[in-house]
Chains A and B, each alone.
Chain A
Amino acid sequence: MTAHAIVQPAATFALFLMCLAFFLTAYRVITGPTLPDRIVALDMLVAIAIGFLAVVAIKTGFNLYVDIAIALGLVGFLATVAFARFVLTQGMPEDEKDPMAASPRAGSRRAGERSVAQRTARRKTRGRAR
Protein backbone atom coordinates (compact mmCIF):
# COMPACT_ATOMS: atom_id res chain seq x y z
CA MET A 1 0.00 0.00 0.00
CA THR A 2 2.90 2.32 0.66
CA ALA A 3 4.20 1.82 -2.87
CA HIS A 4 0.85 3.11 -4.05
CA ALA A 5 1.21 6.10 -1.74
CA ILE A 6 4.63 6.90 -3.23
CA VAL A 7 3.69 6.55 -6.90
CA GLN A 8 0.34 8.32 -6.79
CA PRO A 9 1.58 11.85 -5.93
CA ALA A 10 4.38 11.52 -8.48
CA ALA A 11 1.83 10.57 -11.13
CA THR A 12 -0.32 13.56 -10.18
CA PHE A 13 2.68 15.87 -10.38
CA ALA A 14 3.62 14.45 -13.79
CA LEU A 15 0.05 14.96 -14.99
CA PHE A 16 0.18 18.58 -13.83
CA LEU A 17 3.48 19.22 -15.65
CA MET A 18 2.16 17.60 -18.80
CA CYS A 19 -1.00 19.68 -18.66
CA LEU A 20 1.20 22.79 -18.68
CA ALA A 21 3.29 21.34 -21.52
CA PHE A 22 0.14 20.49 -23.48
CA PHE A 23 -1.19 24.04 -23.23
CA LEU A 24 2.18 25.58 -24.16
CA THR A 25 2.42 23.33 -27.23
CA ALA A 26 -1.19 24.05 -28.18
CA TYR A 27 -0.30 27.74 -28.02
CA ARG A 28 2.48 27.08 -30.53
CA VAL A 29 0.09 25.13 -32.77
CA ILE A 30 -2.35 28.05 -32.79
CA THR A 31 0.08 30.95 -33.18
CA GLY A 32 2.92 29.17 -34.98
CA PRO A 33 3.90 31.58 -37.72
CA THR A 34 4.61 28.93 -40.35
CA LEU A 35 3.35 25.48 -41.32
CA PRO A 36 6.49 23.58 -40.18
CA ASP A 37 6.14 25.20 -36.76
CA ARG A 38 2.67 23.71 -36.47
CA ILE A 39 3.90 20.31 -37.69
CA VAL A 40 6.66 20.24 -35.08
CA ALA A 41 4.19 21.27 -32.40
CA LEU A 42 1.73 18.55 -33.48
CA ASP A 43 4.54 15.99 -33.27
CA MET A 44 5.21 17.25 -29.76
CA LEU A 45 1.51 16.95 -28.92
CA VAL A 46 1.62 13.27 -29.92
CA ALA A 47 4.59 12.74 -27.60
CA ILE A 48 2.71 14.46 -24.76
CA ALA A 49 -0.35 12.30 -25.41
CA ILE A 50 1.84 9.20 -25.18
CA GLY A 51 3.12 10.46 -21.83
CA PHE A 52 -0.46 11.03 -20.69
CA LEU A 53 -1.36 7.47 -21.66
CA ALA A 54 1.59 6.07 -19.70
CA VAL A 55 0.69 8.05 -16.59
CA VAL A 56 -2.96 7.03 -16.86
CA ALA A 57 -1.81 3.40 -17.19
CA ILE A 58 0.07 3.81 -13.89
CA LYS A 59 -2.77 5.61 -12.14
CA THR A 60 -5.56 3.23 -13.15
CA GLY A 61 -3.63 -0.04 -13.44
CA PHE A 62 -4.91 -0.88 -16.93
CA ASN A 63 -1.85 -2.14 -18.79
CA LEU A 64 -3.71 -2.02 -22.08
CA TYR A 65 -2.87 1.69 -22.29
CA VAL A 66 0.74 0.79 -23.13
CA ASP A 67 -0.45 -0.85 -26.36
CA ILE A 68 -2.54 2.20 -27.16
CA ALA A 69 0.55 4.37 -26.63
CA ILE A 70 2.53 2.25 -29.11
CA ALA A 71 -0.25 2.53 -31.70
CA LEU A 72 -0.45 6.30 -31.15
CA GLY A 73 3.30 6.60 -31.66
CA LEU A 74 3.06 4.75 -34.97
CA VAL A 75 0.20 6.97 -36.18
CA GLY A 76 2.01 10.11 -35.06
CA PHE A 77 5.19 9.14 -36.90
CA LEU A 78 3.26 8.44 -40.12
CA ALA A 79 1.38 11.74 -39.80
CA THR A 80 4.62 13.68 -39.37
CA VAL A 81 6.21 11.98 -42.38
CA ALA A 82 3.12 12.73 -44.48
CA PHE A 83 3.17 16.39 -43.39
CA ALA A 84 6.87 16.63 -44.25
CA ARG A 85 6.18 15.27 -47.73
CA PHE A 86 3.36 17.78 -48.04
CA VAL A 87 5.67 20.67 -47.17
CA LEU A 88 8.26 19.33 -49.61
CA THR A 89 5.86 19.05 -52.55
CA GLN A 90 3.82 22.18 -51.88
CA GLY A 91 6.68 24.56 -51.11
CA MET A 92 6.36 27.76 -49.15
CA PRO A 93 3.13 29.66 -49.77
CA GLU A 94 3.45 33.35 -50.59
CA ASP A 95 1.82 34.59 -47.41
CA GLU A 96 4.19 32.68 -45.11
CA LYS A 97 7.29 34.79 -45.25
CA ASP A 98 9.32 34.11 -42.14
CA PRO A 99 8.65 36.93 -39.69
CA MET A 100 11.88 36.20 -37.83
CA ALA A 101 14.04 36.91 -40.86
CA ALA A 102 11.93 39.86 -41.97
CA SER A 103 13.73 43.05 -41.10
CA PRO A 104 13.51 46.22 -43.19
CA ARG A 105 17.26 46.22 -43.82
CA ALA A 106 17.39 42.66 -45.04
CA GLY A 107 14.53 43.12 -47.48
CA SER A 108 16.58 44.24 -50.45
CA ARG A 109 19.19 41.56 -49.88
CA ARG A 110 16.66 38.82 -49.58
CA ALA A 111 14.85 39.81 -52.73
CA GLY A 112 17.79 38.66 -54.82
CA GLU A 113 17.92 35.04 -53.69
CA ARG A 114 14.91 32.85 -54.09
CA SER A 115 14.30 29.43 -52.60
CA VAL A 116 14.42 26.21 -54.57
CA ALA A 117 10.75 25.46 -54.20
CA GLN A 118 9.71 28.89 -55.35
CA ARG A 119 12.01 28.64 -58.33
CA THR A 120 10.69 25.21 -59.30
CA ALA A 121 7.12 26.36 -58.77
CA ARG A 122 7.75 29.36 -60.98
CA ARG A 123 9.34 27.14 -63.59
CA LYS A 124 6.33 24.85 -63.47
CA THR A 125 3.85 27.67 -63.95
CA ARG A 126 5.93 29.10 -66.75
CA GLY A 127 6.01 25.73 -68.48
CA ARG A 128 2.27 25.42 -68.12
CA ALA A 129 1.75 28.87 -69.61
CA ARG A 130 3.66 27.98 -72.74
Chain B
Amino acid sequence: MEILLALVVAAMLVSGGIFTFLAAVGVVRLPDVYTRMHAASKAGTVGSGLMLIAAGLYAGEFATLARAFAGFVFFILTAPVAAHLVAKAAHQAGYRLSRRTVCDEMRLPPKK
Protein backbone atom coordinates (compact mmCIF):
# COMPACT_ATOMS: atom_id res chain seq x y z
CA MET B 1 0.00 0.00 0.00
CA GLU B 2 2.80 2.35 0.88
CA ILE B 3 4.67 1.37 -2.27
CA LEU B 4 1.55 2.02 -4.34
CA LEU B 5 1.13 5.47 -2.82
CA ALA B 6 4.80 6.23 -3.45
CA LEU B 7 4.44 5.17 -7.08
CA VAL B 8 1.40 7.42 -7.54
CA VAL B 9 3.22 10.34 -5.90
CA ALA B 10 6.30 9.79 -8.06
CA ALA B 11 4.20 9.65 -11.23
CA MET B 12 2.43 12.88 -10.27
CA LEU B 13 5.74 14.59 -9.54
CA VAL B 14 7.27 13.59 -12.86
CA SER B 15 4.19 14.48 -14.90
CA GLY B 16 3.85 17.80 -13.06
CA GLY B 17 7.47 18.61 -13.83
CA ILE B 18 6.96 17.74 -17.49
CA PHE B 19 3.82 19.92 -17.65
CA THR B 20 5.66 22.84 -16.07
CA PHE B 21 8.62 22.45 -18.41
CA LEU B 22 6.37 22.33 -21.48
CA ALA B 23 4.56 25.44 -20.27
CA ALA B 24 7.90 27.24 -19.99
CA VAL B 25 8.88 26.08 -23.48
CA GLY B 26 5.56 27.43 -24.74
CA VAL B 27 6.14 30.76 -22.99
CA VAL B 28 9.50 31.07 -24.74
CA ARG B 29 8.58 29.74 -28.18
CA LEU B 30 5.07 31.02 -28.95
CA PRO B 31 4.81 34.20 -31.04
CA ASP B 32 2.70 36.74 -29.11
CA VAL B 33 1.24 37.61 -25.70
CA TYR B 34 -2.06 35.84 -26.18
CA THR B 35 -0.62 32.47 -27.18
CA ARG B 36 2.01 32.68 -24.44
CA MET B 37 -0.70 33.32 -21.88
CA HIS B 38 -2.57 30.33 -23.28
CA ALA B 39 0.45 28.08 -22.58
CA ALA B 40 1.34 29.56 -19.19
CA SER B 41 -2.12 29.62 -17.63
CA LYS B 42 -3.19 26.09 -18.52
CA ALA B 43 -0.10 23.89 -18.52
CA GLY B 44 1.58 25.81 -15.71
CA THR B 45 -1.46 25.56 -13.45
CA VAL B 46 -1.83 21.84 -14.07
CA GLY B 47 1.86 21.30 -13.36
CA SER B 48 1.96 23.11 -10.03
CA GLY B 49 -1.45 21.70 -9.07
CA LEU B 50 -0.29 18.12 -9.66
CA MET B 51 2.73 18.75 -7.45
CA LEU B 52 0.59 20.23 -4.68
CA ILE B 53 -1.72 17.20 -4.74
CA ALA B 54 1.34 14.94 -4.67
CA ALA B 55 2.66 16.79 -1.60
CA GLY B 56 -0.72 16.40 0.10
CA LEU B 57 -0.89 12.68 -0.71
CA TYR B 58 2.65 11.96 0.43
CA ALA B 59 2.14 13.74 3.78
CA GLY B 60 -0.20 10.92 4.78
CA GLU B 61 -2.52 12.98 6.96
CA PHE B 62 -5.93 14.31 6.06
CA ALA B 63 -5.35 17.93 7.14
CA THR B 64 -2.44 18.42 4.76
CA LEU B 65 -4.26 16.69 1.91
CA ALA B 66 -7.30 18.93 2.47
CA ARG B 67 -5.15 22.06 2.45
CA ALA B 68 -3.31 20.95 -0.69
CA PHE B 69 -6.63 20.23 -2.38
CA ALA B 70 -7.97 23.63 -1.32
CA GLY B 71 -4.88 25.28 -2.80
CA PHE B 72 -5.32 23.31 -6.04
CA VAL B 73 -8.97 24.37 -6.33
CA PHE B 74 -7.93 27.97 -5.66
CA PHE B 75 -5.36 27.87 -8.48
CA ILE B 76 -7.84 26.27 -10.85
CA LEU B 77 -10.30 29.07 -10.04
CA THR B 78 -7.91 32.01 -10.23
CA ALA B 79 -5.60 31.14 -13.14
CA PRO B 80 -8.24 31.57 -15.90
CA VAL B 81 -9.46 34.81 -14.32
CA ALA B 82 -5.94 36.27 -14.17
CA ALA B 83 -5.11 35.15 -17.71
CA HIS B 84 -8.37 36.56 -19.06
CA LEU B 85 -7.75 39.89 -17.30
CA VAL B 86 -4.21 40.18 -18.70
CA ALA B 87 -5.32 39.27 -22.22
CA LYS B 88 -8.30 41.63 -22.18
CA ALA B 89 -6.20 44.49 -20.82
CA ALA B 90 -3.49 43.87 -23.43
CA HIS B 91 -6.06 43.73 -26.23
CA GLN B 92 -7.75 46.93 -25.08
CA ALA B 93 -4.41 48.68 -24.68
CA GLY B 94 -3.67 47.88 -28.31
CA TYR B 95 -1.02 45.17 -28.17
CA ARG B 96 -1.18 43.42 -31.51
CA LEU B 97 -1.57 39.76 -32.30
CA SER B 98 1.15 38.00 -34.23
CA ARG B 99 1.15 38.24 -37.99
CA ARG B 100 0.23 34.58 -38.33
CA THR B 101 -3.09 35.09 -36.53
CA VAL B 102 -6.00 34.00 -38.68
CA CYS B 103 -8.92 35.73 -36.97
CA ASP B 104 -9.37 38.39 -34.27
CA GLU B 105 -13.02 38.54 -33.32
CA MET B 106 -12.56 41.38 -30.84
CA ARG B 107 -11.08 43.78 -33.38
CA LEU B 108 -12.69 47.16 -33.70
CA PRO B 109 -14.79 47.92 -36.78
CA PRO B 110 -12.55 49.56 -39.41
CA LYS B 111 -14.35 52.88 -39.90
CA LYS B 112 -17.05 54.74 -38.04
**Which residues of chain A have a CB within 8 Å of any CB of chain B?**
2-4, 6-7, 9-11, 13-18, 20-22, 24-25, 27-28, 34, 36-37, 39-41, 43-44, 47-48, 50-51, 54-55, 57-58, 63, 65-67, 69-70, 73-74, 77, 80-81, 83-85, 87-88, 90-92, 96, 98, 100-101, 103, 106, 113-118
Contacts and interface: CB of A to CB of B under 8 A. Distances in A.
Residue with the highest number of chain B CB atoms closer than 10 Å, among A14, A57, A100, A103 = A14
Interface residues of B, number: 67
A21 B23 CA distance: 8
B105 interface: no
Chain A, interface SS category: helix
Chain B, interface SS category: helix
Given A11-B13, A13-B13, A28-B36, A21 B51 contact: no
A7 B93 contact: no
A48 B89 contact: no
B82 A43 contact: yes
A17 B55 contact: no
Nearest to A6: B6
A54 B89 contact: no
A55 B13 contact: yes
Nearest to A61: B59
A70 B71 contact: yes
18 contacts: A17-B20, A18-B20, A21-B23, A36-B86, A36-B87, A36-B89, A37-B33, A37-B36, A48-B44, A50-B75, A55-B13, A55-B51, A66-B56, A80-B86, A87-B90, A98-B95, A113-B110, A116-B93
